[in-house]
Amino acid sequence: MSVASFNDSIKEGAKTDPFRLIGGWVERPEDIQPALEGDVRADVVVVGAGFAGLSAALELRALGAEVVVLEQEFTGFGASGRNAGYLAGSMGVEFELFVRRVGVEQATKIVSFYDEGVAYVEKRLVELSIDCDYRPSGIIRAVVHPSQEKKLRHDMELGAKLGSDTRFVDSYEMRARGIPPAFLFGCTQHGGTLDPGKYVMGLRRAALGAGIKLYEQTPLLSYSEGPTITCRTARGSASAPFMVLATNAYTPQLGLLRDKVAPIRVSAIETEPLSKAQLASLGWSHREGLVTPHLTMESHRLTARDTLLLTTKKLGYAYGSSTPNVPDSAAYSALAQTLDKRYPTLRGISLRACWSGYISLAYDALPVVGQTGPQQNIFYTAGCSGHGVGTQSLVGSLLAERIGGIEHPLLSALRHKTPRTLPEPLQWCLMNAALMGANALDHLVNRKVKSSANG
């Protein structure tokens, strides 16, 4: 479907044809693992088979633990199978909020946690022989209008004070690199892009190979606390002295972190593969992942299958922290319009897919990682906003180490008091007002881009 007809169909309230319920990267595995039947015991039960859950499970297994993983649908069903595949460090995180909340010293350690996430994933891809089309091209945070320079420079300066290593890329270098002309100048950082579906399925393959018992199609329904935690599912139970809730944006639905994180819907569109001529019209030979300093950032990248992927632009919050798996036509339409604006040489290109998924966000934008229960034997991880490819993988490893008896300094650095979220309907009002405000301010920047193009 072309971008124009896609927009028309949305205006008419019609179908969103290329919508994919499970995102654009993964399919339901052919060897989907059977649901849990009966009662099983283990050393650790991990709930959620995304980057965090599978990384934790693999590291725990390497320490010699018997591990059971419960996944409500199948591996990669959550954000890990739906994201844009940026393996990015600390660039673009909310430095100012971090400092205000925990001070410079702790913020510096948290920034290094974000950066370490990149190195951790790069190491694991090699160790586990996962081929996920990783391209260490670096990530560029690029402005689309000169009015964004102030924010870009400010973030760079504050980030540098906190140890975030970025370099300014001027317009000459941008053009020399062949970055599409809509992106004027910016800053770059180590990292790159990958196929998140292949990454998460690579973790799954490694987990099954390591003897981890993975039960897919097995939602955790409830759990009991105590020295032994019993996780109840539809037709059985899994018990262990430790549990890791790696359920991220879905965690509030289990009754935990309800007052700490809010699930935020993030959307993506992906074009059909570009022809050789279309690719040549873009230049962009190193295929750097691009993000913008809009309040709701845009992200733009080419994939290994020569498609162009755009994400974010319009975020959503559903009443009561629910996570409905439904299309977000307004977000796809906004992304499709952005595609048209930023890439005039691609006008008329068809969309292969569009989809949405959920990240979780704390009011202070900091990761929410900790432990709870009378025995402090229930570990959880959420937050990390839109930076989970690196951070959630690393957190899985840090939690495994912690359960093994060692607390890594990066894990200690994450400990802080997360602000309480508001009860409904206040949270719905606050979230939607904040998202609308951000959209309105971003719209002003985009109007300036349009008028400079016309002028």
Binding site for ligand FAD (CB under 6 A): 47-53, 70-73, 77-80, 82-86, 88, 219-220, 246-250, 254, 266, 268, 311, 357, 359, 384, 386-390, 392
Q: How far is the CB of 245 from ligand FAD (least distance, A)?
A: 9
Query: Is the distance from CB of 325 to CB of 228 less than 8 angstroms?
Result: no
Query: Is the distance from CB of 291 to CB of 298 less than 8 angstroms?
Result: yes
**440 secondary structure, DSSP code:** H
Q: How far is the CB of 393 from ligand FAD (least distance, A)?
A: 8
> Which CB sits closer to ligand FAD, 173 or 438?
438
Position 319: which residue type? Y
CA distance 319 to 322: 6
CA distance 185 to 440: 23
Q: Which residue's beta carbon is nearest to the bound ligand FAD?
A: 388
> Which CB sits closer to ligand FAD, 51 or 98?
51
Q: How far is the CB of 265 from ligand FAD (least distance, A)?
A: 8
Q: How far is the CB of 241 from ligand FAD (least distance, A)?
A: 19
Angle in degrees, CA 316, 146, 442, rounded to 5 = 15
> Which CB sits closer to ligand FAD, 298 or 347?
298
Q: How far is the CB of 312 from ligand FAD (least distance, A)?
A: 7
CA distance 251 to 257: 7
> Which CB sits closer to ligand FAD, 148 or 303?
303
Q: How far is the CB of 85 from ligand FAD (least distance, A)?
A: 5
Tokens of 336: 């499709």
Angle in degrees, CA 324, 328, 330, rounded to 5 = 150
DSSP β-ladder status, 262-271 and 351-361? antiparallel
> Which CB sits closer to ligand FAD, 114 or 284?
114
> Which CB sits closer to ligand FAD, 174 or 246?
246
CA distance 74 to 219: 10
Q: How far is the CB of 395 from ligand FAD (least distance, A)?
A: 8
Q: How far is the CB of 246 from ligand FAD (least distance, A)?
A: 5
Contacts of 126 (CB under 8 A, 6+ apart): none
CA distance 403 to 302: 39
> Which CB sits closer to ligand FAD, 77 or 242?
77
Q: How far is the CB of 250 from ligand FAD (least distance, A)?
A: 3
The burial class, CB within 10 Å (0-12 / 13-18 / 19+), for 177 is: middle
> Which CB sits closer to ligand FAD, 106 or 391?
391
CA distance 30 to 279: 33
Query: Is the distance from CB of 119 to CB of 113 less than 8 angstroms?
Result: no
198 φ, ψ (degrees, to nearest 5): -65, -35
> Which CB sits closer to ligand FAD, 180 or 383?
383
